[in-house]
Amino acid sequence: MKALTVSVGLAAISTALVALSMAGPSVRAEAAQAATAPEATGAAPLTDGQASFEALKKLIGGRWEAPMGGGKTIVDTFQPFAFGSAILAEEWVDGQQITSTVFYVVGSELRADHYCDYGNQPRYVAMPSTDPSIIDFGFRDATNLDTHPAHFHTTTWHLVDATHMTQDWHVEGGAKGSSQIHLEFVRLTSQA
């Protein structure tokens, strides 16, 4: 009985392969996509945090620039490290590195640790979103707020397309009260 079952199973696979090879390119592409879908591979679907981390990976390999006041430009770069389990973002102004942020996933959450030019280190967690192009980071905690109270309390990143991104940063704890910083980035080069 087992031999008959294996024989029938192999015949069905063989028939399916012949039909697929005779199909047009769009049918083959759909079949390939279905075969790699989480349900087909047995992999669990991505959590919001994992999906946001995958979206951030699209920023890697380029130089992102945004104009600032006073004729200055801020430059963001992104690179993977730790076998791709984390992303290092660096911000530069006038050739000086001013901040670094490390993005990583813990369980189902995307987290970010920001090493800031304000002299403190806020840590964020991405909030669930129905729009995968928007990553909204909420404040978790921070170090050095006792000596450097002005800090970036929240930030929202909008990954508009392959060459455009906006970042909105909400500042709290400063002598002037709360404020907003809006940056519009353009990807200038690729380092593939």
pLDDT, tens digit, for every residue of 79-128?
A: 999 999 999 999 999 999 999 999 999 999 999 999 999 999 999 999 99
pLDDT, tens digit, for every residue of 39-59?
A: 555 778 888 999 999 999 999
Each residue of 10-41: b (16+ CB within 10 Å) or e? eeeeeeeeeeeeeeeeeeeeeeeeeeeeeeee
| Burial classification of residue 154, based on how many CB atoms lie within 10 Å of its CB (0-12 exposed, 13-18 middle, 19 or more buried) | middle
* Domain made up of 48-190: CATH architecture: Beta Barrel (2.40)
pLDDT, tens digit, for every residue of 141-159?
A: 999 999 999 999 999 999 9
Domain limits of the chain?
2-41, 48-190
The answer to whether the pTM exceeds 0.85 is no
pLDDT for residue 69: 87
The sign of the CA dihedral 99, 146, 128, 166 is negative
Q: Angle, to 10 degrees, between the axis of helix 2-22 and the axis of helix 25-36?
A: 130
